[in-house]
Amino acid sequence: MATPRIAPSMLSSDFANLASEAERMVRCGADWLHMDIMVIFHFVPNLTIGAPVIESLRKHTKAYLDCHLMVTNPLDYVEPLGKAGASGFTFHVEVSKDNWRELVQQIKLKGMRPGVSLKPGTPIEEVFPLVEAEDPVQMVLVMTVEPGFGGQKFMPEMMDKVRTLRKKYPSLDIEVDGGLGPSTIDLAASAGANCIVAGSSVFGAPDPAQVISLLRKTLENC
Asked about 173 being catalytic, the answer comes back as no
Q: Is 92 annotated as a binding residue?
A: no
Q: Is 207 annotated as a binding residue?
A: no
**E strands within 58-209?**
64-70, 88-92, 113-118, 139-143, 173-177, 195-198
Q: What is the rounded CA–CA span in Å between residue 81 and residue 102?
A: 16
Calculate ∠ Cα 30-122-203, nearest 5°. Answer: 25
Q: Is 68 annotated as a binding residue?
A: yes
Q: Is 34 annotated as a binding residue?
A: yes
Question: Of 31, 98, 177, 186, which is the active-site residue?
Answer: 177
Q: Is 151 annotated as a binding residue?
A: yes
Q: Is 160 annotated as a binding residue?
A: no
| Antiparallel, parallel or unpaired: β 139-143 and 113-118 | parallel
Q: Is 150 annotated as a binding residue?
A: yes
Q: Is 177 annotated as a binding residue?
A: yes
Asked about 177 being catalytic, the answer comes back as yes
Q: Is 9 annotated as a binding residue?
A: yes
3-class DSSP state for residue 4?
A: coil
Question: Of 36, 66, 76, 186, which is the active-site residue?
Answer: 36
3-class DSSP state for residue 67?
A: strand
**E strands within 15-146?**
32-40, 43-44, 64-70, 88-92, 113-118, 139-143
Annotated catalytic residues are 36, 177
Which residues belong to the annotated binding site for substrate?
9, 68, 148-151, 179, 199-200
Q: Binding site for a divalent metal cation: what residues are annotated?
A: 34, 36, 68, 177
